[in-house]
């Protein structure tokens, strides 16, 4: 298969305080360094091609959907002449933050990490294309007050459609091997809400009777994500729930979540919420409108 190099327009939005989104038609850009922390969603509209991911070669045809959480690992991209593609990429952290902790993404991420290609029907391919084109239409609306919420809503629609495609084609795969069992047990532990007070990987390794190194390597290999990312995915919604409850003081929340110091708690909030606990609570307050001037009679 001859490799095709093309120069086509890229749509990109980047802001230090907001997520980095990218939309393009050029398949040769899918493993760019700028996508190192992003998840790639690519649809093949015409033609066919192949690539190597996790040391395995994958082939795709028209209507194939490719979902890769670490596109920088993609190698040896090759496509036939005349092939057409569209793809959208968004930060993994942003996408993971959209999902509830009890979702289909755990099993799906394990399966997609093993095989990132999902063959779609004509109708499903068009549905996915509509999803990412709606996202593309809003990329230039970054000045809107609720831009992140708008993009989050559109991305969430895309994600749930992908879950539907994946379930339809692959079904619910049961992992009976040891590695799959360990990942499944970790997710069961996290679903209990224990991460409210336990956010260290070592704790979960001890509960599962494995070493932290084994747990880290196994989860990374099976899902493409870190143990810490799954812990945070379950812990952050709990954090937000407490911060939304103004009956609880910052100190009380810090104690309930077993943070050793207020400064450590503040750093955790800044890392995962982008602001301190006080700033987050302030952002929840409605903006006061300026009083209307009294009419002169």
| Position with higher pLDDT, 289 vs 211 | 211
- Closest by CA to 163, choosing from 41, 23, 37, 30, is 41
- Closest by CA to 74, choosing from 20, 38, 46, 98, is 38
Query: How buried is 237 (Cβ within 10 angstroms: 0-12 exposed, 13-18 middle, 19+ buried)?
Result: middle
pLDDT at residue 4, as a whole number = 39
Q: Output phi, psi for 290, to 5 deg.
A: -65, 140
Segment holding 207, helix H or strand E = helix 201-207
pLDDT digits (tens, 9 = 90+) for 155-172: 999 999 998 898 887 765
| Position with higher pLDDT, 220 vs 109 | 220
| Position with higher pLDDT, 223 vs 263 | 263
* Global model pTM greater than 0.85: no
C-alpha 263/C-alpha 203 separation (Å) is 22
pLDDT digits (tens, 9 = 90+) for 170-221: 765 555 577 777 888 888 888 888 999 999 999 999 999 999 999 999 888 8
Q: Output phi, psi for 75, to 5 deg.
A: -135, 165
- Asked if residue 23 lies in contact with residue 132, where contact means CB atoms within 8 angstroms, the answer is yes
C-alpha 109/C-alpha 9 separation (Å) is 30
C-alpha 204/C-alpha 236 separation (Å) is 17
Query: How buried is 293 (Cβ within 10 angstroms: 0-12 exposed, 13-18 middle, 19+ buried)?
Result: exposed
pLDDT digits (tens, 9 = 90+) for 239-272: 999 999 999 999 999 999 999 999 999 999 999 9
pLDDT at residue 101, as a whole number = 54
Domains of the chain and any CATH numbers: 10-170 (2.60.120), 178-282 (1.10.10.60)
């Amino acid at each position: 298969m001859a490799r095709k190099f093309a120069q086509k327009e890229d749509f990109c939005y980047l802001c230090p305080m907001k997520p980095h989104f990218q939309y393009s038609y050029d398949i040769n850009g899918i493993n760019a360094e700028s996508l190192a922390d992003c998840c790639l969603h690519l649809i093949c509209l015409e033609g066919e091609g192949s690539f190597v991911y996790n040391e395995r070669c994958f082939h795709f045809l028209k209507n194939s959907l490719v979902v890769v959480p670490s596109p920088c690992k993609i190698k040896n991209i090759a496509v036939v002449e005349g092939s057409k593609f569209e793809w959208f990429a968004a930060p993994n952290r942003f996408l993971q933050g959209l999902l509830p902790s009890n979702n289909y993404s755990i099993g799906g991420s394990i399966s997609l990490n093993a095989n990132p290609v999902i063959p779609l029907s004509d109708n499903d391919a068009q549905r996915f294309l509509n999803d990412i084109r709606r996202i593309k239409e809003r990329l230039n609306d970054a000045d809107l007050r609720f831009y992140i919420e708008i993009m989050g809503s559109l991305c969430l629609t895309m994600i749930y459609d992908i879950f539907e495609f994946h379930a339809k084609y692959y079904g619910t795969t049961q992992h009976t091997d040891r590695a799959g069992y360990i990942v499944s047990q970790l997710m069961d532990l996290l679903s209990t809400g224990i991460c409210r007070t336990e956010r260290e990987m070592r704790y979960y390794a001890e509960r599962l009777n494995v070493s932290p190194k084994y747990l880290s390597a196994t989860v990374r290999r099976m899902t493409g994500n870190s143990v810490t990312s799954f812990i945070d995915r379950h812990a952050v919604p709990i954090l937000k729930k407490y911060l939304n409850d103004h009956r609880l003081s910052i100190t009380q929340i810090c104690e309930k979540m077993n943070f050793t110091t207020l400064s450590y708690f503040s750093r955790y909030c800044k890392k995962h919420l982008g602001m301190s606990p006080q700033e987050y609570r302030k952002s929840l307050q409605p903006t006061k409108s300026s009083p209307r001037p009294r009419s002169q009679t």
